Amino acid sequence: MKPEWTRLVLTKLTWIWTKPTWTEPTWTKRSLVMAALLTCAAPVWAQSAAPAPQAEPLDVQQLFASSCGWCHSDAGRVAGRGPQLMNTQRSDDFLRNRIKVGKPGAMPAFAEAFTDAQIDAIIAYIRALKPD
């Protein structure tokens, strides 16, 4: 309901509430008024609800650069502190496990940092790497 209609309904309901000639018992009158108020207010509450936030698309290149790029140089194209990932012969399962579990003394575990979907996107990014 628009605010002016809500104001009009509230004015009428207040008048009904306070009308001295009403012959019904007070609790019935109040119950009817409360039911009418709730009926009028429900559509307003439903309309004012904020829409659910849409998930932003994953920028896997940025995710890789900010998390993996410290060790896998040139976006994974050349060896740095970590190995070159472009043209790796390792399986997707191996890469997934390495990202999740890490390698003691060499690579941290990212199981708590990334979702499975993010890890799959990183693997797809690695597979798509081409020389500059």
Taking only the tens place, the pLDDT of each residue in 24-64 is: 555 566 666 666 666 665 555 445 455 555 567 889 999 99
Between CA 100 and CA 116 the distance in angstroms is 9
What's the CATH fold of domain 60-128? Cytochrome Bc1 Complex; Chain D, domain 2 (1.10.760)
Region label for 12, one of left (φ > 0), alpha (ψ between -120 and 50) or beta (otherwise): alpha
Radius of gyration of the chain (CA): 31
Between CA 104 and CA 4 the distance in angstroms is 67
Least confident of 26-35, 72-81, 84-93, 101-110: 26-35
H-helix or E-strand containing 44?
helix 26-48
pLDDT above 70 covers a percentage of the chain that reads 58
The average pLDDT across 56-76 equals 90
**DSSP secondary structure code for residue 104 in this structure:** T
Residue spans of the domains in the chain: they are: 3-48, 60-128
Between CA 120 and CA 56 the distance in angstroms is 17
pLDDT score at 56:
73
101 touches 119 (CB < 8 A): no
Whole-model pTM: value is 0.58
Tokens coding 115: 């979702």
- 123 in helix, strand or coil? helix
